């Protein structure tokens, strides 16, 4: 992921809300501590590899990240493909 593909605090909170998961659940999925998730959601500085691990865990759980594109970065649930 490039710097432009990182995860910001608001996106992390929105993603957790969409998935209805706790800080602890996300921390376990990303293999980081709950304190790390809390720090990320407060907007504190973290290593890029840590942010990437959290983003990857959210993507596996079904989150799609929406680029800034002048309208503000966001998240949405991936559309389930039915056959």
Task: Please state the domain extents for the chain.
Answer: 3-77
Report whether pLDDT(2) > 50.
no
The residues that bridge with 76 in the sheet, in sequence order, are 64
Left, alpha or beta for 7 (phi > 0: left; psi -120 to 50: alpha)? beta
Q: Select 3-77's CATH number: 3.40.50.80, 1.10.3720.10, 1.10.260.40, 2.100.10.30.
A: 1.10.260.40
* 8-59: pLDDT as tens digits: 999 999 999 999 999 999 999 999 999 999 999 999 999 999 999 999 999 9
């Amino acid at each position: 992921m490039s710097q432009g593909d990182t995860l910001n605090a608001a996106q992390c909170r929105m993603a957790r809300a969409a998935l209805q998961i706790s800080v602890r659940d996300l921390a376990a999925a990303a293999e980081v501590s709950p304190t790390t998730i809390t720090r990320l959601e407060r907007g504190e500085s973290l290593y890029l590899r840590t942010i990437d691990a959290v983003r990857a865990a959210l993507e596996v759980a079904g989150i799609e990240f929406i680029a800034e594109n002048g309208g503000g970065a966001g998240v949405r649930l991936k559309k389930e493909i039915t056959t």
